[in-house]
Amino acid sequence: MKIAFVGKGGSGKTTLSSLFIRHLATTRAPVVAVDADINQHLGPALGLTDAEAAALPPMGGHLPLIKEYLRGDNPRIASADTMIKTTPPGRGSRLLRVDEENPVYAACARPVRLDGGEVRLMATGPFTESDLGVACYHSKVGAVELCLNHLVDGAGEYVVVDMTAGSDSFASGMFTRFDMTFLVAEPTRKGVSVYRQYREYARDYGVALRVVGNKVQGRDDLEFLRDEVGEDLLVTVGHSEWVRAMEKGRPPHFGALEAENRAALETLLATADGAYGRRDWERYTRQMVHFHRKNAESWGNERTGADLAAQIDPEFTLDEDALLALPG
């Protein structure tokens, strides 16, 4: 299952995504966690020291390796240099699984031990001073989108992406890559405005979107979210002494998390798992192709000097059966 956590800065999105990842670890399910936010805080939220988080290999720094590996023997892709973030897989491409060893994970993922289990953690890399004036942040997440486009995951396997909200999320088709998107919103006008913007952008693409109310302190906050969000409000989370201790770098055992917050995480997991039966791989592939054509026409063809629409394999559908055709 591919799951995104989105929300405005300060909403508690990274905290909630880290709690969800910790919850998954207790189930011993295969998990790949990805920090794709402009502010790279997922590592520390999972217990890494600042030095350990800073040492995570940036996916963007390994983009040539990622492209070359995923290209495989696809005859429609002449070279890795012509691959862009939206390049779809085709016959001959290499596909990624959650629970496997491959050169992409070897270069970009690091194991993180949590209470009850271990997860793989990947990060896009921070937005640095050298990027100012020459890059935009959604170019940083191109490696993540390329990997998601080539990922085949099954039931009981999880990729959890902590990512930015707002218009940057819609600069390409990455927002359509998820089985479930959890939007974290505070009970404020600004908090729900992000929800409205995301819903407006996503409504034509069948994006499964549910709202997690955070920092809810009483009945008035709950009623506000219900009035503004309606049926999209899935669950709310209030004050947590466990989270306060985690933010101080002194988290107790995860089993000590408050019962009501643990129940909220179980609701998130059940909701994500419930999306598996509604998967539509053909629509997923069509959307991938749609956004690749758009990016090719708007900038990709000029940038690469190639007709990137020719990379599209009309006979290929990304689904679990496609794994049978993986090259060696």
Q: How confident is the model at residue 134 (pLDDT cuts 50, 70, 90)?
A: very low
Q: Please work out, in degrees rounded to the nearest 5, the angle formed at the alpha carbon of residue 303 by the alpha carbons of 301 and 202.
A: 70
Instruction: State how far the Cα of 205 lies from the Cα of 202, in Å rounded to an integer.
Output: 6
Higher per-residue confidence, 279 vs 137: 279
Q: What is the pTM of this model?
A: 0.94
pLDDT at 45: 96
Candidate CATH numbers 3.40.50.2300, 2.30.30.100, 3.40.50.300, 3.30.420.40; the one for domain 2-323: 3.40.50.300
Sole residue written with tokens 């990304």: 318
Burial class (CB in 10 A: 0-12, 13-18, 19+), 279: middle
Give the mean pLDDT of 11-40: 95
Q: What is the pLDDT of residues 162-218, one digit of tens each?
A: 997 655 567 678 999 999 999 999 999 988 998 998 898 888 899 999 999 999 999
List the domain boundaries for the chain.
2-323
Least confident of 100-104, 138-142, 281-285: 138-142
Q: What is the pLDDT of residues 146-160, one digit of tens each?
A: 999 999 999 999 999
Question: Which positions ≥6 away from 214 have C-beta within 8 Å?
Answer: 7, 11, 12, 15, 16, 184, 185, 186, 236, 237
Length of the chain: 328
pLDDT at 166: 58
Give the mean pLDDT of 19-38: 96
Instruction: State how far the Cα of 74 lies from the Cα of 310, in Å rounded to an integer.
Output: 12
Sign of the CA dihedral with 214 first, then 126, 172, and 68 last? negative
Quickly count: other Cβ atoms within 10 Å of residue 15's Cβ. Answer: 21
pLDDT at 140: 72
